[in-house]
Structure 1
Amino acid sequence: MVRSIKNRKKAKRKSKLGSSNGVAASSSSIPSVPAKVWRPGVDKLEEGEELQCDPTAYNSLHAFNISWPSLSFDIVRDTLGLVRTEFPHTIYFVAGTQAEKASWNSIGIYKISNISGKRRELLPSKPVTDDTDMDSDSSDSDEDDEGEENGGYKLPVWQLRKVAHEGCVNRIRAMQQNPHICASWADGGHVQIWDFSSHLNTLAGSEPTVSPGDSSVFNQAPLTLFKHKDEGYALDWSPLVPGRLLSGDCKSFIHLWEPSSATSWNVDTAPFVGHSASVEDLQWSPTEPHVFSSCSADGNVAIWDVRSGKSPAASFKAHNADVNVISWNRLASCMLASGSDDGTFSIHDLRLLKEGDSVVAHFEYHKQPITSIEWSPHEASTLAVSSADNQLTIWDLSLEKDEEEEAEFKAKTQEQVNAPEDLPPQLLFVHQGQNDLKELHWHAQIPGMIVSTAADGFNILMPSNIQTTLPSDAAA
Structure 2
Amino acid sequence: MPPPLHPPPLNVQTPGFAHYSLAWSPFHNSRLALASSANYGLVGNGRLHIVSLLPGSVNGLNIDKQFDTQDGLFDVAWSEIHENQLAVASGDGSIKLFDVMINVREGDLPIRIWHEHTREAFSVDWSNIRKDQFMSCSWEGSIKIWTPELQRSVTTIPAHQACVYQALYSPHLPDIVASCSADGTLRIFDIRAPVSAQSLTNPVALPALTVPGSATELLTLDWNKYQQFYIATGGVDKVIRVWDCRMIRLGADANSSGPGGGQIGGACEAYLAGHEYAVRKVNWSPHRADVLASASYDMTCRIWTTKQGVPSSLLYIHDAHSEFVSGCAWSLYDEGILGTCAWDCRLNVFRPEF
Question: For 1:333, which of 228, 234, 246 is the aligned residue?
Answer: 228
Which residue is 1:178 aligned to? Answer: 82
Query: What is the CA-CA distance between 1:314 and the residue it aligns to?
Result: 1.1
- Mapped partners of 2:138, 2:28: distance in 1: 33
Query: What is the CA-CA distance between 1:244 and the residue it aligns to?
Result: 0.9
* TM-score, length basis structure 2: 0.85
* TM-score, length basis structure 1: 0.64
Higher RCO, Cα 8 Å, sep 6+:
1
Identity among equivalent positions (%) equals: 19
CA contact (8 A) 1:451 1:461 kept: yes
More strand by share: 2
Task: Call closer, same or farther: CA 1:160–1:247 in 2, change over 3 Å.
Answer: same
Does 1:63 find its partner at 2:2? no
Does 1:436 find its partner at 2:332? no
Query: What is the CA-CA distance between 1:431 and the residue it aligns to?
Result: 0.8
Which residue is 2:297 aligned to? Answer: 388
Q: Deviations over 1:241-288 (max 9, x none)?
A: 11211111111111111354xxx45413x6212412111111101111
CA contact (8 A) 1:70 1:455 kept: yes
CA contact (8 A) 1:343 1:370 kept: yes
- Mapped partners of 1:184, 1:94: distance in 2: 10
- Mapped partners of 1:327, 1:164: distance in 2: 28
CA contact (8 A) 2:102 2:108 kept: no
Does 1:304 find its partner at 2:189? yes
Question: For 2:242, which of 329, 333, 347 is the aligned residue?
Answer: 347
**Structure 1 counterpart SS, 2:233:** strand
Q: Note the residue ranges of structure 1 that are not aligned, 5 or more in a row.
A: 1-18, 24-53, 81-90, 116-144, 149-154, 200-214, 403-424, 466-476
Task: Call closer, same or farther: CA 1:217–1:64 in 2, change over 3 Å.
Answer: farther
1:395 is aligned with what amino acid?
W
Question: For 1:278, which of 153, 163, 182 is the aligned residue?
Answer: 163
CA contact (8 A) 1:164 1:218 kept: no
Task: Call closer, same or farther: CA 1:103–1:230 in 2, change over 3 Å.
Answer: closer
Q: Deviations over 1:129-188 (max 9, x none)?
A: xxxxxxxxxxxxxxxx4x44xxxxxx4251421222121101111123433221111111
CA contact (8 A) 1:59 1:464 kept: no
Q: How does 1:108-187 map to 2 (within 5 A)?
A: 108-113=49-54, 115=55, 145=56, 147-148=57-58, 155-187=59-91
1:371 is aligned with what amino acid?
R
- Mapped partners of 1:274, 1:107: distance in 2: 28
Question: For 1:361, which of 263, 270, 273 is the aligned residue?
Answer: 270
2:20 is aligned with what amino acid?
L
Q: Which runs of 4+ in 1 moved over 4 A?
A: 100-104, 215-218
2:64 is aligned with what amino acid?
L
Q: How does 1:26-425 map to 2 (within 5 A)?
A: 54=4, 57-58=5-6, 61-67=9-15, 68-79=17-28, 91-100=30-39, 104-113=45-54, 115=55, 145=56, 147-148=57-58, 155-198=59-102, 218-260=107-149, 264=150, 266-268=152-154, 271-310=156-195, 311-354=206-249, 356-357=264-265, 358-401=267-310, 425=312
More helix by share: 1
- The alignment yields a C-alpha RMSD, in angstroms, of 2.3
1:337 is aligned with what amino acid?
A
Which residue is 1:85 aligned to? Answer: none
- Mapped partners of 2:182, 2:215: distance in 1: 10
When the two structures are aligned, how many residues end up with a matched partner? 325
- Mapped partners of 1:190, 1:259: distance in 2: 14
Q: Deviations over 1:101-121 (max 9, x none)?
A: 9775321212231x2xxxxxx
- Mapped partners of 1:218, 1:182: distance in 2: 17
